[in-house]
Amino acid sequence: MVKSIEDRTTLNNGVKMPWLGLGVFRVENGPDASNAVREAIVQGYRSIDGAAIYENEESMGQGIAEGIKEAGISREDLFITSKLWNADQGYESGLKAYEESLKRLGLDYLDLYLIHWPVKGKYKEAWRALETIYKEGRVRAIGVSNFQIHHLEDLFTDAEIKPAVNQVEYHPRLTQKPLHEFCKAQGIQLEAWAPLMVGKLFDNEVLKEIADKHNKSIAQVILRWDLQNGVVTIPKSTNKGRIKENSGIFDFELTAEEVTQIDNLNQDFRTGADPDNFNF
């Protein structure tokens, strides 16, 4: 059982990754982003997830620096993720994009670097770039985002290194069980983006009943469900109270029956793009 915000899962290369992190998708570059990151670190979060396309890496980096100082910790205590955007997928362009992300973040290395989407005909060259960065010891782990089973199988045909993480849309309406089982069998850690389904589950009666039983919020119940399913989760918030609330998931446990009840809410419903059909 995951009992603390300090608890980590061990990736397939031995690197330890926090089960809970803060996501900064759709957070405007500026005080909103830097304050959210700083606040999360001060409150005990040790994982921050960003991406080049979010266009807020400068503020994310500022928040990291301020958070480290205020919390009295070191850079090594943190787990920082960014992602290679679609337009930069390629070998040379991938290497260059990594350097540019580091520069914007003001960091010497990342803990995890992901290919953001499986762009047909491009992601294998992009993966080769990530493998190079990894072999050179300039990133601690590499992975993918939004990859389906067939994308992963295709990647495996040429890859020398297996992805450590696959970050996908995952919430009670989109449980992606076959993908989750495949990743488990391959030793790839599943990570949830949009774990709270952009707030669209907060009036769900099943979740409300479970939340009331545990004296928790629906958000806390969903995030706890992620962890009990072995899924790393990175809820996004810029609200100080909500950041704190989202971390209050380590002092209770859902029963097996409650986990199944939440699993059964699945409708294969996406709030984001379909990885097999996107045009960006």
Catalytic residues: 54
CA distance 184 to 89: 26
Cα–Cα distance measured from residue 53 to residue 117, given in angstroms and rounded to the nearest whole number: 11
Measured CA distances, 121 to 90, 117, 132, 145, 157 (Å): 9, 12, 19, 16, 14
Three-state secondary structure call for residue 120: coil
Residue 59 contacts residue 86 (beta carbons within 8 Å): no
Distance CA 254, CA 1 (A): 11
Name 203's Cβ contacts closer than 8 Å, sequence gap at least 6.
none
CA–CA separation, 225 and 219 (whole Å): 10
Cα(224)–Cα(217) distance, rounded to whole angstroms?
11
Residue type, 6: E
The phi and psi torsions of 86 (rounded to 5 degrees) equal -55, -45
